[in-house]
Amino acid sequence: MFHTRNESYGARVVTVLFDLGHPAHFHLFKHVIAHLRQTGHDVELIARQKECLQDLLDKVGWRYHLAPRSGTGLAALGRQAAQALQVAVRLSLAKPIDVMAGTSIVVGPAARMTGATSLVFGEDDARTVPWFARLAYPPAHYIVTPRCLRFERHGRKHLTYPGYQELAYLHPDRFQPDPSVRSTLGVQPEERYFLVRLVALTAHHDIGQRGVSRAQARRLVEKLARHGRVFISAETKVDDDLQPYVLPTRPDQIFDVLAFADMVVGDSQTVTAEAAVLGTPAIRCNTFVGRLTYLEELEHRYGLTVGIRPEHFDRVLGTVDAWLAKADLKSQWRRRRHALISECVDLTEWILDLFTGLIRRRR
């Protein structure tokens, strides 16, 4: 059941700017954006050139201002951020913007320059994303993180919620998976299937980090293929011999794929967390293991995922074997997911309540 809200921000139309740097940021804010638009308020979107973000925005028909990226590395990311900052300031000069929000180093400085209130959302530990934390947090009016990061103590402007960013769009009040995705995949109702997710590790905080290598990915596919269908979702082109395994669905169907998969294995933090909150067993293999509190909580408090470093890849294969041997694996994970949902909020509802309070305070 989807929540509806009847609050009013007063007679004046409220303008909110979202800076979207990644497809996950689109999903984080999409229900908030839709609600603001439906209730007559003005929303401006800045989109970075990243993966399928433009495709997702085009599919829902939302107009956006693109901050293109040329090249790779920190210099290219810096140029793209500078472009996004220019767009945010230019939009603010054209019309007053009340709130700027995003997982972004841009919204804090842009809001300080133009009189808006900024909300910077973060899920990673500050020590793990030090450049982001140094650039984004000091100018922000509010820093919004999961409650598991309350130990970071960013002062009175640090707001925390019980849950995870993925529950803004995968909470059962927001998302019900479509079983017809099995037909799209060509998978029979009782047939097992698995997803291998491979990321490029090109973000600023990914420099010097490692995930699943090509050889390791091939070993994973070979092992899983003996037990069911295997699909690969990758940020970059996969080797020719693995092309037949490439996921054939549209980007907006990925959560249906995750929800019905028997297992997800890969090196993506976000997809691991998404699988976990959907109740799908997930194994993550990269050098961030042990360094991200929210994923450690999903693993050790709720038992929904396991993290293993790449140098211990044999443990990944051993965990795959152990999980495949469990006849009731998915039902175990459904019970664990139920425990998680009972202790967490619908983050979209929480964000809308936050916006309501902030805008009333500005008035």
Question: Phi and psi at residue 332, in whole multiples of 5°?
Answer: -60, -45
Mean pLDDT of 20-34: 95
Produce one character per residue of 155-164: b if its CB has 16 or more CB atoms within 10 Å, e if not: eeebbebebb
Residue-wise pLDDT for 97-128, tens only, equals 999 999 999 999 999 999 999 999 999 999 99
Write down the pLDDT at residue 80: 84
Q: Kindly report the CA angle at 301 between 292 and 320, in degrees rounded to 5?
A: 80
pLDDT band at 52 (very low <50, low <70, confident <90, very high): confident
All domains in the chain, ordered by first residue: 15-171+346-362 (3.40.50.2000), 181-343 (3.40.50.2000)
Q: What is the pTM of this model?
A: 0.91
| Cβ–Cβ under 8 Å, residues 62 and 53 | no
pLDDT band at 221 (very low <50, low <70, confident <90, very high): very high
The sheet carrying 263-266 orders its strands as 229-234, 193-198, 263-266, 282-285, 305-308
Residue-wise pLDDT for 315-342, tens only, equals 999 999 999 999 899 999 999 999 999 9
Which has the closest alpha carbon to 295: 310, 273, 278, 316? 273
Mean pLDDT of 52-66: 93
**Percent of the chain scored above 90 by pLDDT?**
77
**Pair of tokens at residue 72:** 């790779």
Residue-wise pLDDT for 129-143, tens only, equals 999 999 999 999 999
pLDDT band at 202 (very low <50, low <70, confident <90, very high): very low
